[in-house]
Amino acid sequence: MSVPALVAADIFEPYGFEFFRNGTVVAVAAGALCGLLGVFVVLRGMSYIGHGLSHAVFGGAAASAVMNFNYFVGAGLWGIVSGVLIGRIARRRILGADAAIGVVTTASFAVGLALLNRYGQAKRSIEAVLFGSVLGVKTGDIIAVVVVGLLALGVIVVGYRRFLFSTFDPEVASVSGVRVSLMEAALMVMLSLTILVTMRVIGTLLISALLVIPAATARMLTNRFARMLWISPLIGGAGAFVGMNLAYHTNTSAAAMIIIVCATAFSCVYFASGVRGKRRVAALGHL
């Protein structure tokens, strides 16, 4: 075989395995989905909420594993309740909202950890939830990610102006008849569902990175909200694809490699973009 044929065979080698094909499909869909919702996370200055929420969902996942409860129902309910709660805390600007979120979500994380230690097959489950695993991806996971992805896309397209208005100027939006708290709750539910269906692949520790990095990179590349909504998922999906392949060939964690690829893309854009691009990310708030 010639050298290029060998290289080609090597590049396509992982696709001979079903687990890799399934894993790549889920990772790309997850990357795109996190990229899409990440636009709202980043522009609303909620980067910390994405981080906290993924930790909170871990508690729900652990509790449902220990109680032999369906994972999606248990962790999903837990995630949605904490998401809506966090949204309310953030919106009402209760004193020290970030501290309150920190307490709620880390406590949830700690409860999950303790439950798994005490009752579960601790080590394996914890690692799987924290760092995710492409090996265990089943058809159900693919369906779940794709369904949540299409749902999120549909909701955002149909409610585009209301989401935009309540993100840009919630006060005037509410006076103009937009139900800002409903939009916020919808966003939090979508965020919780996204974390829920992607955590098996990427793991809770790294989900927040995928919610922030593609959107922040997209923000440097454009000054238009509508363009961010397709650039960010593109970066997330492409980062996931490249990361999966690199992970196979370097024998490293897929989640870690996906984030490293996205972070590298961010750094390249950051250094390549002028003062204006840097100012755009500098202006992104945080909570």
Partner 1 sequence: MILKAAPDNLLVSCHHLSCAYGENVVVSDVTFNVERGEFVGIVGPSGSGKTTLLRAILGMVKPVHGEVGTVKGVRLGYVPQVESVDWNFPVTVLEVMVMTRPQRRVLPRITVAERRSANEMLERLGLGGLGNRHIRELSGGQQQRVFVARALFHNPDILVLDEPTSGVDVRTRHEVLHLLADLHQDGISVLLTTHDLNGLAAHLPRLVCLNREVIADGSPREVLVPDVLERLYGAPMHVLEHGGMPVVLDHAEGAVIKPFRPRAV
- Where does this chain touch partner 1 (CB under 8 A) — which range of 21-29, 129-137, 170-178, 249-257? 170-178
Please give the residues from 18 up to 57 whose contact with partner 1 meets the rule CB under 8 A.
43
Contact with partner 1 (CB under 8 A): which of 175, 182, 268, 272?
Answer: 175
DSSP states along 140-198: HHHHHHHHHHHHHHHHHHHTHHHHHHHHH-HHHHHHTT--HHHHHHHHHHHHHHHHHHH
DSSP states along 128-139: HHHH--STT--H
Size of the site for partner 1 (CB under 8 A): 29
Nearest CA among 260, 261, 201, 229 for reference residue 32: 229
Contact with partner 1 (CB under 8 A): which of 77, 102, 120, 169?
Answer: 169
Beta-carbon neighbour count of residue 123 at 10 Å? 10
Least distance in angstroms from the C-beta of 262 to partner 1? 20
Q: To the nearest 5 percent, what fractions of the chain are helix, strand and coil? A: 85, 0, 15
The reply on whether position 157 binds partner 1 by CB under 8 A is: yes
The reply on whether position 279 binds partner 1 by CB under 8 A is: yes
- Where does this chain touch partner 1 (CB under 8 A) — which range of 70-78, 109-117, 161-169, 241-249? 161-169
Cα 272 to Cα 147, 217, 221, distances in angstroms: 36, 11, 10
Contact with partner 1 (CB under 8 A): which of 117, 121, 223, 252?
Answer: 223
Nearest CA among 234, 236, 255 for reference residue 244: 255
- Where does this chain touch partner 1 (CB under 8 A) — which range of 53-61, 82-90, 223-231, 243-251? 223-231
Q: CB–CB of 198/34 below 8 Å?
A: yes
Beta-carbon neighbour count of residue 61 at 10 Å? 28
The reply on whether position 225 binds partner 1 by CB under 8 A is: yes
DSSP states along 67-92: TT--HHHHHHHHHHHHHHHHHHHHHT
Residue 167 structure tokens: 């993100």
The reply on whether position 285 binds partner 1 by CB under 8 A is: yes
- Where does this chain touch partner 1 (CB under 8 A) — which range of 158-166, 183-191, 201-209, 245-253? 158-166
Contact with partner 1 (CB under 8 A): which of 51, 55, 162, 200?
Answer: 162
Contact with partner 1 (CB under 8 A): which of 109, 165, 248, 266?
Answer: 165
Contact with partner 1 (CB under 8 A): which of 174, 181, 264, 273?
Answer: 174
Cβ proximity to partner 1: between 136 and 154 the closer is 154
Q: Which residues of the shown chain bind partner 1 in the complex (CB under 8 A)?
A: 43, 157-162, 164-165, 167-169, 171-172, 174-176, 219, 222-226, 228, 279-280, 283-285
